[in-house]
Structure 1
Protein backbone atom coordinates (compact mmCIF):
# COMPACT_ATOMS: atom_id res chain seq x y z
CA UNK A 1 0.00 0.00 0.00
CA UNK A 2 1.02 3.59 -0.56
CA UNK A 3 1.15 5.54 2.70
CA UNK A 4 1.51 9.27 3.23
CA UNK A 5 2.27 10.96 6.54
CA UNK A 6 1.59 14.45 7.87
CA UNK A 7 3.01 15.41 11.27
CA UNK A 8 6.61 14.34 11.71
CA UNK A 9 7.00 15.62 15.27
CA UNK A 10 8.30 13.77 18.32
CA UNK A 11 5.61 11.10 18.04
CA UNK A 12 4.86 11.17 14.32
CA UNK A 13 8.44 10.74 13.13
CA UNK A 14 9.03 7.34 14.77
CA UNK A 15 5.60 6.10 13.65
CA UNK A 16 6.36 7.14 10.07
CA UNK A 17 9.78 5.53 10.27
CA UNK A 18 8.17 2.31 11.50
CA UNK A 19 5.96 2.27 8.39
CA UNK A 20 9.11 2.46 6.27
CA UNK A 21 10.72 -0.32 8.31
CA UNK A 22 7.63 -2.44 7.65
CA UNK A 23 8.47 -2.23 3.95
CA UNK A 24 5.69 0.10 2.88
CA UNK A 25 5.92 2.89 0.31
CA UNK A 26 5.84 6.22 2.15
CA UNK A 27 5.50 9.88 1.18
CA UNK A 28 6.03 12.53 3.86
CA UNK A 29 5.70 16.28 4.12
CA UNK A 30 7.73 18.48 6.45
CA UNK A 31 8.92 22.06 6.48
CA UNK A 32 12.13 21.10 8.30
CA UNK A 33 14.96 20.45 5.81
CA UNK A 34 16.91 18.21 8.19
CA UNK A 35 13.84 16.02 8.76
CA UNK A 36 13.15 15.83 5.03
CA UNK A 37 16.75 14.82 4.35
CA UNK A 38 16.65 12.09 7.00
CA UNK A 39 13.49 10.52 5.61
CA UNK A 40 14.71 10.78 2.03
CA UNK A 41 17.91 8.96 3.05
CA UNK A 42 15.78 6.18 4.53
CA UNK A 43 13.80 5.71 1.32
CA UNK A 44 10.74 7.93 1.73
CA UNK A 45 9.48 10.30 -0.93
CA UNK A 46 9.39 13.89 0.31
CA UNK A 47 6.39 15.87 -0.94
CA UNK A 48 6.79 19.53 -1.83
CA UNK A 49 3.25 20.38 -0.68
CA UNK A 50 0.65 18.96 1.69
CA UNK A 51 -1.73 18.34 -1.20
CA UNK A 52 0.64 15.76 -2.70
CA UNK A 53 -0.11 13.56 0.32
CA UNK A 54 -3.61 12.90 -1.04
CA UNK A 55 -2.23 10.53 -3.69
CA UNK A 56 -2.12 7.49 -1.42
CA UNK A 57 -3.97 4.43 -0.22
CA UNK A 58 -3.58 5.46 3.44
CA UNK A 59 -3.20 9.01 4.76
CA UNK A 60 -1.65 9.14 8.26
CA UNK A 61 -1.88 12.20 10.49
CA UNK A 62 -0.22 12.83 13.85
CA UNK A 63 -0.71 16.49 14.74
CA UNK A 64 -0.75 18.49 18.00
CA UNK A 65 -4.33 19.79 18.09
CA UNK A 66 -7.76 18.73 16.77
CA UNK A 67 -7.98 21.90 14.71
CA UNK A 68 -4.74 21.04 12.94
CA UNK A 69 -6.18 17.69 11.82
CA UNK A 70 -9.47 19.28 10.79
CA UNK A 71 -7.76 21.95 8.71
CA UNK A 72 -5.51 19.42 6.98
CA UNK A 73 -8.32 17.18 5.80
CA UNK A 74 -11.23 19.63 5.46
CA UNK A 75 -9.40 22.83 4.56
CA UNK A 76 -9.14 26.11 6.42
CA UNK A 77 -12.48 26.98 8.07
CA UNK A 78 -14.01 23.78 6.69
CA UNK A 79 -13.86 24.98 3.09
CA UNK A 80 -13.76 21.44 1.75
CA UNK A 81 -10.42 22.08 0.06
CA UNK A 82 -8.40 19.79 2.31
CA UNK A 83 -6.96 16.36 1.65
CA UNK A 84 -10.29 14.51 1.69
CA UNK A 85 -11.35 16.37 -1.44
CA UNK A 86 -8.41 14.94 -3.38
CA UNK A 87 -8.23 11.43 -1.90
CA UNK A 88 -9.54 8.57 -3.99
CA UNK A 89 -12.61 6.49 -3.09
CA UNK A 90 -11.58 3.43 -1.08
CA UNK A 91 -8.63 5.18 0.55
CA UNK A 92 -8.18 5.31 4.33
CA UNK A 93 -7.43 8.08 6.82
CA UNK A 94 -5.39 6.63 9.72
CA UNK A 95 -5.45 9.23 12.51
CA UNK A 96 -2.88 8.93 15.35
CA UNK A 97 -3.40 12.30 17.09
CA UNK A 98 -4.90 12.85 20.55
CA UNK A 99 -8.21 14.45 19.62
CA UNK A 100 -11.68 14.55 21.13
CA UNK A 101 -14.46 12.15 20.11
CA UNK A 102 -16.65 14.92 18.70
CA UNK A 103 -13.91 16.01 16.28
CA UNK A 104 -13.08 12.41 15.36
CA UNK A 105 -16.71 11.57 14.62
CA UNK A 106 -17.13 14.68 12.50
CA UNK A 107 -14.03 13.71 10.52
CA UNK A 108 -15.30 10.14 10.10
CA UNK A 109 -18.59 11.47 8.70
CA UNK A 110 -16.82 13.89 6.34
CA UNK A 111 -14.45 11.15 5.19
CA UNK A 112 -17.30 8.73 4.58
CA UNK A 113 -19.08 11.31 2.42
CA UNK A 114 -16.00 11.31 0.16
CA UNK A 115 -15.69 7.52 0.10
CA UNK A 116 -12.74 7.59 2.52
CA UNK A 117 -12.69 5.15 5.47
CA UNK A 118 -11.74 6.68 8.83
CA UNK A 119 -9.70 4.83 11.46
CA UNK A 120 -8.69 6.41 14.78
CA UNK A 121 -5.53 4.86 16.26
CA UNK A 122 -4.69 7.11 19.19
CA UNK A 123 -1.16 6.63 20.53
CA UNK A 124 -0.94 5.67 24.18
CA UNK A 125 2.49 6.46 25.60
CA UNK A 126 5.78 8.08 24.60
CA UNK A 127 7.95 8.67 21.53
CA UNK A 128 10.54 6.39 23.11
CA UNK A 129 8.00 3.55 23.06
CA UNK A 130 7.17 4.36 19.44
CA UNK A 131 10.85 4.13 18.49
CA UNK A 132 10.89 0.58 19.85
CA UNK A 133 7.61 -0.29 18.08
CA UNK A 134 6.03 -0.85 21.50
CA UNK A 135 3.60 2.10 21.38
CA UNK A 136 0.04 1.16 22.46
CA UNK A 137 -2.45 2.09 19.74
CA UNK A 138 -6.14 2.39 20.65
CA UNK A 139 -7.90 1.56 17.39
CA UNK A 140 -11.50 2.14 16.37
CA UNK A 141 -13.47 3.12 13.31
CA UNK A 142 -14.40 1.63 9.95
CA UNK A 143 -14.37 -2.14 10.50
CA UNK A 144 -13.19 -3.13 7.03
CA UNK A 145 -10.39 -0.56 7.10
CA UNK A 146 -9.29 -1.68 10.58
CA UNK A 147 -9.01 -5.22 9.22
CA UNK A 148 -6.97 -4.03 6.25
CA UNK A 149 -4.57 -2.06 8.45
CA UNK A 150 -4.23 -4.53 11.31
CA UNK A 151 -1.15 -6.40 9.99
CA UNK A 152 0.64 -3.07 9.53
CA UNK A 153 -0.46 -1.78 12.96
CA UNK A 154 1.01 -4.91 14.57
CA UNK A 155 4.35 -4.12 12.92
CA UNK A 156 4.53 -0.50 14.06
CA UNK A 157 3.14 -0.77 17.61
CA UNK A 158 0.89 -2.70 19.96
CA UNK A 159 -2.66 -2.17 18.69
CA UNK A 160 -5.78 -2.70 20.79
CA UNK A 161 -9.08 -2.89 18.92
CA UNK A 162 -11.57 -0.86 20.98
CA UNK A 163 -14.01 -0.98 18.04
CA UNK A 164 -15.39 2.55 17.83
CA UNK A 165 -14.04 6.06 17.39
CA UNK A 166 -15.40 7.29 20.74
CA UNK A 167 -13.46 4.65 22.65
CA UNK A 168 -10.29 5.12 20.59
CA UNK A 169 -10.22 8.79 21.60
CA UNK A 170 -11.47 8.27 25.15
CA UNK A 171 -8.84 5.78 26.35
CA UNK A 172 -5.95 8.21 25.76
CA UNK A 173 -7.83 11.18 27.16
CA UNK A 174 -8.86 9.20 30.25
CA UNK A 175 -5.26 8.08 30.70
CA UNK A 176 -4.07 11.68 30.74
CA UNK A 177 -6.99 12.92 32.82
CA UNK A 178 -6.18 10.38 35.53
CA UNK A 179 -2.40 10.68 35.20
CA UNK A 180 -2.25 14.48 35.19
CA UNK A 181 -4.76 14.77 38.04
CA UNK A 182 -2.53 12.36 39.96
CA UNK A 183 0.48 14.52 39.13
CA UNK A 184 -1.27 17.67 40.34
CA UNK A 185 -2.13 15.97 43.66
CA UNK A 186 1.46 14.72 43.98
CA UNK A 187 2.80 18.24 43.43
CA UNK A 188 0.43 19.61 46.06
CA UNK A 189 1.38 16.84 48.48
CA UNK A 190 5.10 17.53 48.10
CA UNK A 191 4.44 21.22 48.76
CA UNK A 192 2.56 20.33 51.94
CA UNK A 193 5.48 18.11 52.87
CA UNK A 194 7.77 21.09 52.51
CA UNK A 195 5.54 22.97 54.94
CA UNK A 196 6.20 20.12 57.37
CA UNK A 197 9.94 20.62 56.92
CA UNK A 198 10.56 17.69 54.55
CA UNK A 199 12.40 18.10 51.27
CA UNK A 200 10.86 16.23 48.29
CA UNK A 201 13.89 13.96 47.87
CA UNK A 202 13.47 12.80 51.48
CA UNK A 203 9.68 12.50 51.38
CA UNK A 204 9.38 10.59 48.11
CA UNK A 205 11.06 7.34 49.28
CA UNK A 206 8.73 7.27 52.26
CA UNK A 207 5.63 7.80 50.15
CA UNK A 208 6.72 5.13 47.68
CA UNK A 209 6.27 2.53 50.40
CA UNK A 210 2.64 3.54 50.93
CA UNK A 211 -0.65 3.62 49.05
CA UNK A 212 0.38 6.99 47.61
CA UNK A 213 2.76 5.33 45.14
CA UNK A 214 1.94 5.82 41.44
CA UNK A 215 3.50 5.92 38.00
CA UNK A 216 3.74 9.71 38.21
CA UNK A 217 5.47 9.48 41.58
CA UNK A 218 7.99 6.97 40.28
CA UNK A 219 8.74 8.88 37.07
CA UNK A 220 8.10 12.55 37.70
CA UNK A 221 8.56 12.66 41.47
CA UNK A 222 12.38 12.48 41.17
CA UNK A 223 12.32 15.14 38.44
CA UNK A 224 10.43 17.51 40.74
CA UNK A 225 12.82 16.77 43.59
CA UNK A 226 15.79 17.51 41.31
CA UNK A 227 14.22 20.69 39.84
CA UNK A 228 14.35 18.99 36.43
CA UNK A 229 11.54 20.47 34.36
CA UNK A 230 12.95 19.89 30.86
CA UNK A 231 10.03 19.03 28.57
CA UNK A 232 9.10 15.41 27.92
CA UNK A 233 5.33 16.04 27.96
CA UNK A 234 4.77 19.75 28.35
CA UNK A 235 2.38 21.61 30.62
CA UNK A 236 0.67 23.01 27.50
CA UNK A 237 0.00 19.50 26.16
CA UNK A 238 -1.22 18.28 29.55
CA UNK A 239 -3.62 21.22 29.79
CA UNK A 240 -4.83 20.57 26.24
CA UNK A 241 -5.62 16.94 26.97
CA UNK A 242 -7.32 17.79 30.27
CA UNK A 243 -9.42 20.41 28.48
CA UNK A 244 -10.42 17.93 25.77
CA UNK A 245 -11.15 15.25 28.37
CA UNK A 246 -13.37 17.54 30.41
CA UNK A 247 -15.25 18.59 27.28
CA UNK A 248 -15.70 14.92 26.35
CA UNK A 249 -17.10 14.10 29.79
CA UNK A 250 -19.50 17.04 29.76
CA UNK A 251 -20.71 16.11 26.27
CA UNK A 252 -21.66 12.69 27.66
CA UNK A 253 -23.49 14.21 30.64
CA UNK A 254 -20.79 13.72 33.27
CA UNK A 255 -19.32 16.55 35.34
CA UNK A 256 -15.57 15.88 35.80
CA UNK A 257 -15.16 17.83 39.05
CA UNK A 258 -11.76 16.53 40.15
CA UNK A 259 -10.27 16.70 36.67
CA UNK A 260 -11.44 20.29 36.33
CA UNK A 261 -9.67 21.11 39.60
CA UNK A 262 -6.49 19.56 38.19
CA UNK A 263 -6.94 21.51 34.96
CA UNK A 264 -7.09 24.66 37.06
CA UNK A 265 -3.62 23.93 38.43
CA UNK A 266 -2.20 23.40 34.92
CA UNK A 267 -3.85 26.64 33.76
CA UNK A 268 -2.17 28.38 36.69
CA UNK A 269 1.16 26.92 35.58
CA UNK A 270 0.53 28.23 32.07
CA UNK A 271 -0.32 31.68 33.44
CA UNK A 272 3.01 31.65 35.28
CA UNK A 273 4.88 31.06 32.01
CA UNK A 274 5.56 27.34 32.53
CA UNK A 275 3.68 26.04 29.49
CA UNK A 276 6.79 24.86 27.65
CA UNK A 277 8.22 22.97 30.63
CA UNK A 278 7.44 19.38 31.55
CA UNK A 279 4.06 18.69 33.14
CA UNK A 280 5.83 18.17 36.46
CA UNK A 281 6.41 21.95 36.48
CA UNK A 282 2.90 22.08 37.96
CA UNK A 283 4.93 21.63 41.18
CA UNK A 284 6.06 25.25 40.82
CA UNK A 285 2.47 26.42 40.58
CA UNK A 286 1.27 24.34 43.55
CA UNK A 287 1.75 27.07 46.13
Structure 2
Protein backbone atom coordinates (compact mmCIF):
# COMPACT_ATOMS: atom_id res chain seq x y z
CA UNK A 1 0.00 0.00 0.00
CA UNK A 2 1.32 3.42 -0.98
CA UNK A 3 0.42 6.47 1.10
CA UNK A 4 0.60 10.13 0.12
CA UNK A 5 0.95 12.98 2.60
CA UNK A 6 0.22 16.58 1.60
CA UNK A 7 0.96 19.29 4.16
CA UNK A 8 4.10 18.78 6.24
CA UNK A 9 3.82 21.53 8.81
CA UNK A 10 4.16 21.12 12.57
CA UNK A 11 1.41 18.51 12.75
CA UNK A 12 1.68 16.81 9.37
CA UNK A 13 5.43 16.29 9.55
CA UNK A 14 5.22 14.19 12.72
CA UNK A 15 2.36 12.11 11.37
CA UNK A 16 4.17 11.49 8.08
CA UNK A 17 7.36 10.44 9.87
CA UNK A 18 5.40 7.89 11.90
CA UNK A 19 3.92 6.40 8.73
CA UNK A 20 7.44 6.10 7.30
CA UNK A 21 8.75 4.54 10.52
CA UNK A 22 5.88 2.05 10.37
CA UNK A 23 7.22 0.75 7.06
CA UNK A 24 4.80 2.36 4.60
CA UNK A 25 5.90 3.78 1.26
CA UNK A 26 5.03 7.46 1.69
CA UNK A 27 4.93 10.12 -1.01
CA UNK A 28 5.58 13.61 0.38
CA UNK A 29 4.47 17.06 -0.75
CA UNK A 30 4.45 20.54 0.75
CA UNK A 31 4.76 23.98 -0.82
CA UNK A 32 7.74 24.54 1.51
CA UNK A 33 10.75 22.51 0.26
CA UNK A 34 12.44 22.70 3.66
CA UNK A 35 9.43 21.07 5.31
CA UNK A 36 9.63 18.22 2.80
CA UNK A 37 13.35 17.79 3.40
CA UNK A 38 12.94 17.50 7.16
CA UNK A 39 10.57 14.57 6.67
CA UNK A 40 12.43 12.97 3.77
CA UNK A 41 15.57 12.79 5.92
CA UNK A 42 13.73 9.98 7.73
CA UNK A 43 12.54 8.39 4.49
CA UNK A 44 9.72 8.64 2.00
CA UNK A 45 9.61 9.76 -1.61
CA UNK A 46 9.41 13.43 -2.60
CA UNK A 47 6.58 14.22 -5.02
CA UNK A 48 6.84 17.28 -7.25
CA UNK A 49 3.08 17.95 -7.23
CA UNK A 50 -0.13 16.79 -5.51
CA UNK A 51 -1.25 15.25 -8.82
CA UNK A 52 1.58 12.70 -8.63
CA UNK A 53 0.41 11.66 -5.18
CA UNK A 54 -3.18 11.41 -6.40
CA UNK A 55 -2.20 9.15 -9.27
CA UNK A 56 0.04 6.81 -7.26
CA UNK A 57 -1.27 6.62 -3.69
CA UNK A 58 -3.93 4.29 -2.32
CA UNK A 59 -4.38 6.54 0.72
CA UNK A 60 -3.86 10.31 0.69
CA UNK A 61 -3.53 12.31 3.93
CA UNK A 62 -3.98 16.08 3.93
CA UNK A 63 -2.97 18.41 6.75
CA UNK A 64 -3.55 22.05 5.82
CA UNK A 65 -3.87 25.29 7.84
CA UNK A 66 -7.28 26.59 6.72
CA UNK A 67 -10.51 25.25 5.21
CA UNK A 68 -9.99 27.36 2.09
CA UNK A 69 -6.63 25.68 1.50
CA UNK A 70 -8.39 22.31 1.46
CA UNK A 71 -11.05 23.63 -0.91
CA UNK A 72 -8.37 25.03 -3.23
CA UNK A 73 -6.64 21.64 -3.29
CA UNK A 74 -9.75 19.49 -3.69
CA UNK A 75 -12.52 21.51 -5.30
CA UNK A 76 -11.02 23.24 -8.34
CA UNK A 77 -10.73 22.51 -12.05
CA UNK A 78 -7.40 20.82 -11.26
CA UNK A 79 -8.67 19.07 -8.15
CA UNK A 80 -6.48 16.46 -6.47
CA UNK A 81 -9.59 14.26 -6.33
CA UNK A 82 -9.66 14.10 -10.13
CA UNK A 83 -6.26 12.40 -10.10
CA UNK A 84 -7.07 9.90 -7.35
CA UNK A 85 -7.97 6.36 -8.32
CA UNK A 86 -11.53 5.11 -7.82
CA UNK A 87 -11.75 3.26 -4.50
CA UNK A 88 -8.82 5.13 -2.94
CA UNK A 89 -9.34 7.13 0.25
CA UNK A 90 -8.70 10.71 1.28
CA UNK A 91 -8.04 11.25 5.00
CA UNK A 92 -7.99 14.86 6.13
CA UNK A 93 -6.52 15.66 9.55
CA UNK A 94 -6.94 19.44 9.31
CA UNK A 95 -9.23 21.42 11.58
CA UNK A 96 -12.15 22.36 9.35
CA UNK A 97 -15.82 23.19 9.82
CA UNK A 98 -18.64 20.68 9.20
CA UNK A 99 -19.81 22.55 6.09
CA UNK A 100 -16.42 22.24 4.45
CA UNK A 101 -16.22 18.58 5.47
CA UNK A 102 -19.57 17.86 3.83
CA UNK A 103 -18.51 19.72 0.68
CA UNK A 104 -15.34 17.62 0.44
CA UNK A 105 -17.24 14.40 1.15
CA UNK A 106 -19.66 15.10 -1.70
CA UNK A 107 -16.87 16.04 -4.11
CA UNK A 108 -14.98 12.88 -3.17
CA UNK A 109 -18.06 10.76 -3.83
CA UNK A 110 -18.43 12.31 -7.29
CA UNK A 111 -14.91 11.13 -8.04
CA UNK A 112 -15.48 7.65 -6.51
CA UNK A 113 -13.05 8.40 -3.68
CA UNK A 114 -13.80 7.59 -0.04
CA UNK A 115 -13.35 10.33 2.57
CA UNK A 116 -12.62 10.37 6.28
CA UNK A 117 -12.44 13.59 8.30
CA UNK A 118 -10.01 12.91 11.15
CA UNK A 119 -9.13 16.05 13.13
CA UNK A 120 -6.55 15.77 15.87
CA UNK A 121 -6.79 16.40 19.59
CA UNK A 122 -3.40 17.68 20.72
CA UNK A 123 -0.19 19.23 19.42
CA UNK A 124 3.01 18.62 17.45
CA UNK A 125 4.72 16.71 20.28
CA UNK A 126 1.93 14.12 20.32
CA UNK A 127 1.96 13.96 16.51
CA UNK A 128 5.65 13.07 16.66
CA UNK A 129 5.10 10.45 19.38
CA UNK A 130 2.06 8.88 17.62
CA UNK A 131 -0.02 9.63 20.73
CA UNK A 132 -2.26 12.11 18.93
CA UNK A 133 -5.97 11.63 19.72
CA UNK A 134 -7.85 11.19 16.44
CA UNK A 135 -11.56 11.95 16.02
CA UNK A 136 -12.72 10.12 12.92
CA UNK A 137 -15.84 10.71 10.88
CA UNK A 138 -17.15 9.17 7.69
CA UNK A 139 -18.62 5.87 6.59
CA UNK A 140 -18.17 3.27 9.34
CA UNK A 141 -16.99 0.59 6.91
CA UNK A 142 -14.31 2.95 5.56
CA UNK A 143 -13.20 3.82 9.07
CA UNK A 144 -12.94 0.12 9.98
CA UNK A 145 -10.86 -0.55 6.88
CA UNK A 146 -8.32 2.17 7.65
CA UNK A 147 -8.37 2.18 11.44
CA UNK A 148 -5.09 0.26 11.58
CA UNK A 149 -3.30 2.98 9.58
CA UNK A 150 -4.80 5.67 11.79
CA UNK A 151 -3.48 3.75 14.77
CA UNK A 152 0.06 4.18 13.44
CA UNK A 153 -0.17 7.95 13.80
CA UNK A 154 -2.45 8.43 16.77
CA UNK A 155 -3.93 7.06 19.97
CA UNK A 156 -6.72 6.81 20.88
CA UNK A 157 -8.58 6.63 17.58
CA UNK A 158 -12.27 7.36 18.15
CA UNK A 159 -15.16 7.08 15.71
CA UNK A 160 -17.78 9.83 16.13
CA UNK A 161 -20.16 9.28 13.23
CA UNK A 162 -20.19 11.17 9.96
CA UNK A 163 -17.79 13.92 8.90
CA UNK A 164 -19.97 16.61 10.49
CA UNK A 165 -19.72 15.02 13.93
CA UNK A 166 -15.93 14.59 13.92
CA UNK A 167 -15.18 18.10 12.68
CA UNK A 168 -17.76 19.67 15.00
CA UNK A 169 -16.27 17.85 17.98
CA UNK A 170 -12.82 19.27 17.27
CA UNK A 171 -14.15 22.81 17.04
CA UNK A 172 -16.18 22.44 20.23
CA UNK A 173 -13.16 21.03 22.04
CA UNK A 174 -11.04 24.02 21.03
CA UNK A 175 -13.83 26.46 21.90
CA UNK A 176 -14.02 25.03 25.41
CA UNK A 177 -10.25 24.84 25.81
CA UNK A 178 -9.67 28.42 24.68
CA UNK A 179 -12.55 29.72 26.81
CA UNK A 180 -10.90 28.00 29.76
CA UNK A 181 -7.59 29.65 28.86
CA UNK A 182 -9.24 33.07 28.69
CA UNK A 183 -10.87 32.81 32.10
CA UNK A 184 -7.62 31.39 33.50
CA UNK A 185 -5.74 34.42 32.13
CA UNK A 186 -8.32 36.69 33.72
CA UNK A 187 -7.83 34.87 37.02
CA UNK A 188 -4.04 35.24 36.88
CA UNK A 189 -4.39 38.95 36.28
CA UNK A 190 -6.96 39.41 39.04
CA UNK A 191 -4.79 37.49 41.51
CA UNK A 192 -1.77 39.62 40.64
CA UNK A 193 -3.73 42.86 41.03
CA UNK A 194 -4.90 41.71 44.47
CA UNK A 195 -1.40 40.93 45.68
CA UNK A 196 -1.39 37.12 45.40
CA UNK A 197 1.93 35.64 44.36
CA UNK A 198 1.39 34.27 40.80
CA UNK A 199 3.38 31.08 41.38
CA UNK A 200 1.51 30.31 44.58
CA UNK A 201 -1.75 31.13 42.81
CA UNK A 202 -1.02 28.55 40.12
CA UNK A 203 -0.02 25.80 42.56
CA UNK A 204 -3.02 26.33 44.82
CA UNK A 205 -5.40 26.35 41.86
CA UNK A 206 -4.44 22.73 41.14
CA UNK A 207 -6.07 21.74 44.44
CA UNK A 208 -9.40 23.38 43.63
CA UNK A 209 -12.28 22.99 41.21
CA UNK A 210 -10.44 25.44 38.94
CA UNK A 211 -7.79 22.86 38.05
CA UNK A 212 -7.58 22.20 34.31
CA UNK A 213 -5.40 21.00 31.45
CA UNK A 214 -4.82 24.62 30.46
CA UNK A 215 -3.60 25.44 33.97
CA UNK A 216 -1.04 22.62 33.71
CA UNK A 217 -0.01 23.30 30.12
CA UNK A 218 -0.14 27.08 29.86
CA UNK A 219 0.02 28.26 33.45
CA UNK A 220 3.83 27.91 33.37
CA UNK A 221 3.99 29.87 30.10
CA UNK A 222 2.09 32.76 31.66
CA UNK A 223 4.34 32.70 34.73
CA UNK A 224 7.50 32.70 32.60
CA UNK A 225 6.17 35.19 30.05
CA UNK A 226 7.20 32.57 27.47
CA UNK A 227 4.92 32.42 24.47
CA UNK A 228 6.90 30.20 22.11
CA UNK A 229 4.08 28.76 20.01
CA UNK A 230 2.73 25.28 20.57
CA UNK A 231 -0.71 26.34 19.31
CA UNK A 232 -0.70 29.93 18.14
CA UNK A 233 -3.16 32.73 18.78
CA UNK A 234 -3.84 32.83 15.03
CA UNK A 235 -4.78 29.14 14.91
CA UNK A 236 -6.85 29.41 18.08
CA UNK A 237 -8.69 32.42 16.65
CA UNK A 238 -9.41 30.51 13.45
CA UNK A 239 -10.79 27.49 15.28
CA UNK A 240 -12.93 29.48 17.73
CA UNK A 241 -14.23 31.68 14.90
CA UNK A 242 -15.21 28.61 12.87
CA UNK A 243 -16.89 27.19 15.97
CA UNK A 244 -18.84 30.38 16.62
CA UNK A 245 -19.96 30.46 12.98
CA UNK A 246 -20.98 26.81 13.24
CA UNK A 247 -23.06 27.54 16.35
CA UNK A 248 -24.64 30.63 14.85
CA UNK A 249 -25.63 28.49 11.87
CA UNK A 250 -27.94 26.48 14.13
CA UNK A 251 -29.07 29.44 16.21
CA UNK A 252 -27.02 28.76 19.37
CA UNK A 253 -25.65 31.98 20.95
CA UNK A 254 -22.37 30.58 22.52
CA UNK A 255 -21.67 33.80 24.43
CA UNK A 256 -18.60 32.49 26.27
CA UNK A 257 -16.98 31.46 22.99
CA UNK A 258 -17.73 34.89 21.51
CA UNK A 259 -15.98 36.52 24.46
CA UNK A 260 -13.05 34.16 23.94
CA UNK A 261 -12.93 35.08 20.26
CA UNK A 262 -12.87 38.77 21.21
CA UNK A 263 -9.80 38.33 23.39
CA UNK A 264 -7.99 36.25 20.76
CA UNK A 265 -8.65 38.96 18.20
CA UNK A 266 -7.45 41.59 20.66
CA UNK A 267 -4.22 39.59 20.99
CA UNK A 268 -3.88 39.64 17.21
CA UNK A 269 -4.30 43.43 17.21
CA UNK A 270 -1.24 43.79 19.46
CA UNK A 271 0.87 41.58 17.17
CA UNK A 272 0.63 38.37 19.21
CA UNK A 273 -0.91 36.23 16.48
CA UNK A 274 2.21 34.12 16.00
CA UNK A 275 2.69 33.58 19.74
CA UNK A 276 1.25 30.71 21.76
CA UNK A 277 -2.41 31.04 22.66
CA UNK A 278 -1.32 31.66 26.26
CA UNK A 279 -0.38 35.16 25.07
CA UNK A 280 -4.07 36.02 25.34
CA UNK A 281 -3.07 36.77 28.96
CA UNK A 282 -1.47 39.95 27.63
CA UNK A 283 -4.87 41.34 26.67
CA UNK A 284 -5.93 41.18 30.32
CA UNK A 285 -2.57 42.55 31.45
CA UNK A 286 -2.85 45.49 29.05
CA UNK A 287 -6.35 46.21 30.22
CA UNK A 288 -5.18 46.32 33.83
CA UNK A 289 -2.38 48.74 32.88
CA UNK A 290 -4.83 51.07 31.14
CA UNK A 291 -6.99 51.17 34.23
TM over 0.5: yes
Cα deviation, residue 251, structure 1: 1.8
Distance in 2, Cα, partners of 1:183 & 1:221: 9
Asked if 1:13 is matched to 2:19, the reply is no
Q: Within 5 Å, which residues of 2 pair with 1:46-61?
A: 46-55=46-55, 56-61=57-62
Say which of 106, 114, 117 aligns to 2:114.
117
Distance in 1, Cα, partners of 2:160 & 2:240: 21
Match of 1:211 in 2: 209
Match of 2:271 in 1: 273
Cα deviation, residue 43, structure 1: 3.2
CA contact (8 A) 1:22 1:152 kept: no
Match of 2:74 in 1: 73
Q: CA RMSD in A?
A: 1.4
Say which of 248, 251, 254 aligns to 1:250.
248
Cα deviation, residue 184, structure 1: 0.4
CA contact (8 A) 2:86 2:112 kept: yes
Match of 1:82 in 2: 79
Say which of 170, 186, 189 aligns to 1:188.
186
- CA offsets, 1:62-107, max 9 Å, x none? 01111111111112xxxx3210122121111101001001100111
- TM-score (norm: length of structure 1): 0.94
Moved more, 15-24 or 231-240: 15-24
Match of 2:170 in 1: 172
Distance 1:85 1:261, change over 3 A: same
Moved more, 222-231 or 93-102: 222-231
CA contact (8 A) 1:233 1:279 kept: yes
Structure 1 segments (4+ residues) deviating >6 Å: none
User: Secondary structure of 1:122's match?
Assistant: coil
Give ranges in structure 2 of 5+ residues lacking alignment: none
User: Secondary structure of 1:277's match?
Assistant: coil
Say which of 78, 100, 104 aligns to 2:97.
100
Distance in 1, Cα, partners of 2:281 & 2:34: 35
Match of 2:283 in 1: 285
Cα deviation, residue 144, structure 1: 2.9
CA contact (8 A) 2:13 2:39 kept: no
CA contact (8 A) 2:93 2:117 kept: yes
CA contact (8 A) 2:8 2:36 kept: no
Moved more, 246-255 or 230-239: 246-255
Moved more, 195-204 or 216-225: 195-204
Cα deviation, residue 130, structure 1: 1.6
Cα deviation, residue 252, structure 1: 2.5
Distance 1:104 1:212, change over 3 A: same
Give ranges in structure 1 of 5+ residues lacking alignment: none
Moved more, 205-214 or 173-182: 205-214
Distance in 2, Cα, partners of 1:51 & 1:220: 40
User: Secondary structure of 2:37's match?
Assistant: helix
- TM-score (norm: length of structure 2): 0.93
